[in-house]
């Protein structure tokens, strides 16, 4: 009998959780012989999903969010997904729920669901929030995750959750699988040396900090490639123009396969305020590319990067700029070693163990 796995996800945009789903899908089929499926709640796709079994909720469910019916939206969509999985895949399938919208909906599911937590929730939800609002948020988060077991992508993500929220079910830590396949057909039309940042233009990634740092480096010939899309991109473009960096900062847009850009770069930069387990750092390390990151996550410090030179205190932009110049002249000092716990075969075995526990 073929084992089945279903990934329920909010959408298939260009983020780390989406990449996790696609990577683990391949790993489970290759190393554990599973038949995998993806159920996407929103019909928003940026990744290349050719060859994947993808089902969109709107194709089998027409539940409305309008008016009073909004009150039953989550429950009704969960019931529709449950029926679809039972009728078309397997009632005993292992179901992994990913991202907040999916988690809210699948909290109502009666299937064998595990919620995969990709971010440090204490940082994501409670930083800079009033005490009254914290109580309301805690109540909501606890309600979303009270019915099913949790899988955290790092010990840091688990510790962050436990700091402020309740875990009523069993929980596990399983790291993300890394699957780097370079698309050599994608030509890179960039003259000269460049550094690269990969990430959605949102508040947490701190592109504003990155541009401030880049404006301070001594090397005025190296360029900076920004790979990704997002709502804050116009603000960053304006900042680049204001600082006179237009000729040196290149907005590449979202790339389904950014690995050739990373591989040919002088180094990958990460300037986030917080991360759960940075996929792009792991991918750069897998490609033997020098990395430089804000010290924004215990997971990055303890699990991803094994080189102290590659970590910079969060708000020390001057030191970060200085380290970029050092990276450009002595890249070998900023190389980290791969960790076998991120190998797809290793990760697939751990998820298969969850199936056996059912």
Rounded distance between C-alpha atoms, residue 320 and residue 308, angstroms: 13
**Inside any domain, residue 189:** no
Rounded distance between C-alpha atoms, residue 46 and residue 130, angstroms: 36
Same domain, 107 and 121: yes
Per-residue pLDDT of the chain (358 residues; tens, 9 = 90+): 799 999 999 999 878 899 999 999 999 999 999 999 999 999 999 888 999 999 999 999 987 677 666 778 899 999 999 999 999 999 999 999 999 999 999 999 999 999 999 988 988 889 888 999 999 999 999 999 999 999 999 888 999 999 999 888 999 999 999 988 887 666 777 889 999 999 999 999 999 999 999 999 999 999 999 999 999 999 999 999 999 999 999 999 999 889 999 999 999 999 999 887 788 999 999 999 999 999 998 888 877 888 899 999 999 999 999 999 999 999 999 999 988 889 999 999 999 999 877 6
Same domain, 156 and 259: no
What CATH number is associated with residue 315? 3.40.50.2000
Same domain, 156 and 279: no
Same domain, 129 and 12: yes
277: closest CA among 243, 300, 250?
A: 300
**Inside any domain, residue 152:** yes
**Inside any domain, residue 182:** no
Same domain, 155 and 228: no
- Domain count within the chain: 2
**Inside any domain, residue 183:** no
pTM for the whole structure? 0.80
| Burial group, residue 290, by CB count within 10 angstroms (0-12, 13-18, 19+) | buried
2 phi-psi bin (left φ>0, alpha ψ -120 to 50, beta other): beta
Domain limits for position 139:
4-177+343-357
Same domain, 316 and 351: no
276 contacts 157 by C-beta, under 8 angstroms: yes
Same domain, 11 and 74: yes
């Amino acid at each position: 009998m073929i084992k089945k796995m279903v990934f329920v996800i909010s959408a298939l945009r260009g983020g780390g959780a989406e990449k996790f789903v696609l990577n683990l899908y391949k790993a489970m089929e290759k190393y554990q012989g599973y038949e995998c499926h993806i159920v996407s709640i929103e019909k928003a796709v940026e990744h290349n999903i050719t060859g994947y079994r993808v089902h969109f909720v709107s194709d089998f469910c027409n539940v409305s969010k309008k008016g009073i019916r909004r009150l039953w939206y989550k429950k009704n969509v969960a019931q529709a997904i449950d029926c679809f999985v039972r009728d078309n895949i397997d009632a005993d399938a292992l179901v992994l729920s990913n991202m907040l919208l999916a988690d809210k909906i699948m909290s109502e599911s009666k299937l064998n669901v595990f919620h995969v937590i990709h971010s440090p929730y204490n940082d994501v939800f409670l930083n800079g929030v009033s005490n009254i609002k914290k109580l309301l948020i805690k109540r909501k988060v606890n309600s979303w995750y009270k019915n099913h077991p949790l899988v955290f992508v790092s010990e840091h993500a688990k510790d962050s959750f436990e700091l402020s929220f309740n875990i009523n079910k069993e929980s596990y830590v399983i790291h993300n699988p890394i699957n780097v396949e370079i698309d050599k057909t994608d030509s890179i039309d960039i003259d000269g040396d460049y550094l690269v940042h990969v990430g959605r233009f949102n508040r947490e990634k701190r592109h504003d900090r990155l541009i401030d740092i880049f404006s301070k480096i001594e090397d005025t010939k190296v360029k900076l490639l920004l790979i990704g899309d997002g709502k804050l991109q116009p603000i960053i473009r304006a900042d680049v123009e204001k600082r006179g960096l237009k000729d040196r900062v290149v907005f590449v847009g979202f790339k389904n396969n950014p690995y050739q850009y990373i591989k040919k770069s002088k180094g990958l930069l990460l300037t986030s305020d917080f991360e759960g387990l940075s996929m792009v750092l792991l991918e750069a390390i897998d490609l033997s590319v020098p990395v430089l990151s804000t010290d924004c996550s215990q997971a990055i410090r303890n699990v991803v990067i094994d080189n102290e030179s590659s970590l910079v205190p969060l708000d020390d932009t001057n030191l970060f700029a200085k380290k970029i110049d050092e990276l450009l002249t002595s890249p070998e000092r900023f190389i980290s070693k791969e960790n076998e716990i991120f190998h797809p075969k290793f990760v697939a075995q751990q998820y298969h163990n969850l199936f056996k526990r059912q």
